[in-house]
Structures are given as structure tokens and as C-alpha cells.
């Protein structure tokens, strides 16, 4: 029997889950839930219905794992605890500072319902967190580095769009190559914010806007840009659509640590992702953890978990014997 997956929210992430389910022969798409008018939502799958989000509860016994595809700012803090009381759930909640609070809300709801939810799944938090946890446990005497990019930061693009005279914008976060190289050489550099990433902005101005003023406002914007070396390019809407519509992203996690009687040996652990589609990779991770949530709940487990609580074997469609024979 297949694991019946529900998708809650059909944007880039929802569409990514739909595609990822197709890659996993032990899963099937049960339904897509939307706050929009279902008749206006066109999905790829022929055999799954699009359902109004307020009918969620009626699907309680027809869905094994609900994958939440809303945003962390407004959707998930409310949606995940609600869904966790009805289904096993996976979300990609990524507001680091609010994870403890979110975890506790989801945990309470899931425990009460006897269901299992895994929160903050994806690549950061997610895969990058795993690497940090493993690497810290293995090399206690060391230093962590995380770099993001090259990729579009939605938050920074939004911030630019709020500047007077800006019609549209995309912002790329780019790791500084010399910083990566220094970490790779084991130099354990102290890196300021400016030394780790640069920011490159592609801005479509309103007609007649004061370009110098826009550039100044962007570069001096506190938190978002003032601590970075920022480049601003003014382009047309056509060029933005043509050259900057991609969803590629990626990043690097390092741990650089010492061992030895006199700390004489250096070890560098590096993990990197180069992703053509941030949402499609993220949702591939979500689906692997959906399998784990289903299995753990079948074994009687309930409550909230994060990727740090889940054994890798739990994600795989292979049996423990196959894993030991082929991947160990």
C-alpha cells in the first residue's frame, strides 16, 4: 500500500511535492488543499482532487502524511499546529528564532492526536542542520561555517521592492570565494558579515525614478544591505523576467577542527549543495521525511520531531538489509 500524501498549499513548494511524489514509487498523491477557489487551481496530476482548505478535516482518514507548503512568516505558525492535530505532518518552517515555540505548539497538538510531525525540514534548516550536528559531535574542538548562495533571497528582493521608485527586483546572495578558500585551507578565519557574502541586486526602476537615490537607499538599508558589499544593476522588466526568473540556490557548510595531542592535526568537513531549483530540492527532502513520519507513527510514535531526531535509515525505501549491503 502506498503512503497517501496530502499537499496543503499549491505554490512553488506544493508543485514541487507533487513532482517529488512521482519519483517515490511507495507514495501517491491523495489531494491538494488550497485557500483559493479549487476550480481555479490547475495541478499536474490527473487523478488527485483539488479541495478547499476548510474541508481538511474530512480527509482525516484518507491521508497518511500532510505536507505543508505555506510560508514561515504567516502560514505555518498557524497551519502546522492545526494540521498536526489531524494528520502526520511535514513542514519547512525556517524562522530560526521561532523554532522552539513552533516545535512546542506542534508537539502538543500532535501528541494529543497520536500523530507525528516533523518540522523545519528542507536544506537549511534541514540537510545543513544534520551536517552541523554530526560534525559538531565528531569534532568538538572546531569552528562552523555556513555560506548561502549563489541564489535569490526572497526577503532581500522584497526589501528592495519596498524602496521608492522600484518596480521590481531580484537579489542574489553570493558567497565570497576567498572566504570559502580560507576555510577550505583550514585557516579557521574570523569572518565578518561583509567578508562572507556579497549582495547583487537587479532592479527595475519606475519610469523617471531617481536611480542614484534608489541605489543609495538600497546600499544603506540597515540589516539587509548596510553590512554587505552590494552591487546594484538597473535593468528592464523584460530582462528581469528573461534572465532572473530562475529558482537556483545552494550553499556550503564547513566544520574545521583539530585533533591530536597538541591539536596538530586539522580536519575539514565540507558539505555543499548546488540546486537548479530550490523548491524542487526542498520538497524532495520533505517527501523523504514524509516516509519517516509515516513509519514512525505506524510504530506508535507521536509528537513533534526535527530532522535531528530521525535516523537516516528511516528516510529510505530500502530495507535495513538492503541499506547495509548497498549504501553502508
Residues of this chain that interact with a copy of itself (CB under 8 A) are 16, 19-20, 23-24, 44, 96, 99-100, 103, 120, 125, 127, 129-134, 136-141, 184, 186, 259-261, 264-277, 280-281, 284-285, 288, 291, 306-313, 315-318, 320-321, 323-325, 327-328
User: Cα(269)–Cα(72) distance, rounded to whole angstroms?
Assistant: 30
* Least distance in angstroms from the C-beta of 149 to a copy of itself: 15
Taking the least distance from each CB to a copy of itself, the nearer of 64 and 215 is: 64
SS3 state at 261: coil
Q: Which three cell numbers stand for residue 148?
A: 548561502
Taking the CB of residue 58, how many other CB atoms lie within 10 A of it? 11
> Which alpha helices (DSSP H) does 24-153 contain, by range?
76-84, 99-113, 127-138
CB of residue 144 to a copy of itself, shortest distance in Å: 8
Toward a copy of itself, which CB reaches closer, 233 or 324? Answer: 324
Q: Give the nearer residue to a copy of itself in terms of CB position, either 93 or 225.
A: 93
Helix (H, G, I), strand (E, B), or coil: what is residue 60? coil
- Angle between helical axes of 12-23 and 278-298 (0-180°, round to 10): 60
CB of residue 227 to a copy of itself, shortest distance in Å: 22
Nearer to a copy of itself, 43 or 109 (CB): 43
CB of 320 to a copy of itself, least distance (A): 7
Identify which of 26, 23, 22 has the alpha carbon closest to the alpha carbon of residue 4: 26
To which residue does cell 558539505 refer? 271
Q: Give me the least distance between CB of 98 and a copy of itself, in Å please.
A: 11
Nearer to a copy of itself, 114 or 320 (CB): 320
Give the nearer residue to a copy of itself in terms of CB position, either 74 or 326: 326
Alpha-carbon gap, residue 88 to 86, rounded angstroms: 7
Least distance CB 234 / a copy of itself (angstroms): 29
**Min separation Cβ 109 and a copy of itself, Å:** 17
Q: Are 108 and 84 in contact (CB under 8 A)?
A: no
CB atoms within 10 A of CB 121: 31
d(CA 56, CA 87): 10
Dist CA 312 CA 134 (whole Å): 12
Is the Cβ of residue 49 or residue 312 nearer to a copy of itself in the bound state? 312
Per-residue cell: 63: 491521508
Amino acid at each position: 500500500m502506498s503512503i497517501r500524501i496530502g499537499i496543503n498549499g499549491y505554490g512553488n513548494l506544493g508543485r514541487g511535492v507533487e513532482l517529488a511524489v512521482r519519483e517515490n514509487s511507495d507514495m501517491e498523491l491523495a489531494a491538494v488543499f488550497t485557500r483559493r477557489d479549487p476550480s481555479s487551481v490547475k495541478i499536474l496530476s490527473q487523478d488527485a482532487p483539488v479541495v478547499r482548505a476548510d474541508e481538511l478535516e474530512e480527509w482525516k482518514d484518507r491521508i497518511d502524511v500532510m505536507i505543508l507548503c505555506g510560508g514561515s512568516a504567516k502560514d505555518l505558525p498557524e497551519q502546522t499546529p492545526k494540521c498536526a492535530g489531524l494528520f502526520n505532518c511535514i513542514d519547512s518552517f525556517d524562522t530560526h528564532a521561532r523554532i522552539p515555540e513552533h516545535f512546542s505548539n506542534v508537539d502538543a497538538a500532535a501528541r494529543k492526536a497520536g500523530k507525528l510531525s516533523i518540522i523545519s525540514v528542507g536544506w537549511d534548516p534541514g540537510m545543513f542542520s544534520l551536517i552541523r550536528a554530526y560534525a559538531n559531535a565528531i569534532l568538538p574542538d572546531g569552528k562552523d561555517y555556513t555560506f548561502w548562495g549563489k541564489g535569490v533571497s526572497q526577503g532581500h528582493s522584497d526589501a528592495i521592492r519596498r524602496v521608492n521608485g522600484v518596480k521590481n527586483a531580484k537579489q542574489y546572495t553570493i558567497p565570497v570565494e576567498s572566504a570559502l578558500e580560507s576555510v577550505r585551507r583550514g585557516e579557521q578565519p574570523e569572518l565578518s558579515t561583509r567578508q562572507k557574502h556579497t549582495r547583487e541586486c537587479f532592479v527595475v526602476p519606475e519610469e523617471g525614478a531617481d536611480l542614484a537615490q534608489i541605489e543609495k537607499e538600497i546600499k544603506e538599508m540597515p540589516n539587509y544591505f548596510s553590512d554587505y558589499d552590494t552591487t546594484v544593476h538597473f535593468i528592464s522588466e523584460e530582462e528581469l523576467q528573461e534572465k532572473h526568473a530562475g529558482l537556483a540556490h545552494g550553499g556550503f557548510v564547513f566544520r574545521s577542527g583539530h585533533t591530536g595531542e597538541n591539536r596538530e592535526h586539522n580536519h575539514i568537513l565540507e558539505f555543499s549543495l548546488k540546486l537548479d531549483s530550490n523548491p524542487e530540492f526542498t520538497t524532495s527532502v520533505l517527501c523523504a521525511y514524509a516516509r519517516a513520519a509515516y513509519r514512525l507513527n505506524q510504530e506508535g510514535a507521536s509528537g513533534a520531531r526535527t530532522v535531528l531526531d530521525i535516523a537516516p535509515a528511516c528516510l529510505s525505501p530500502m530495507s535495513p538489509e538492503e541499506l547495509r549491503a548497498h549504501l553502508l
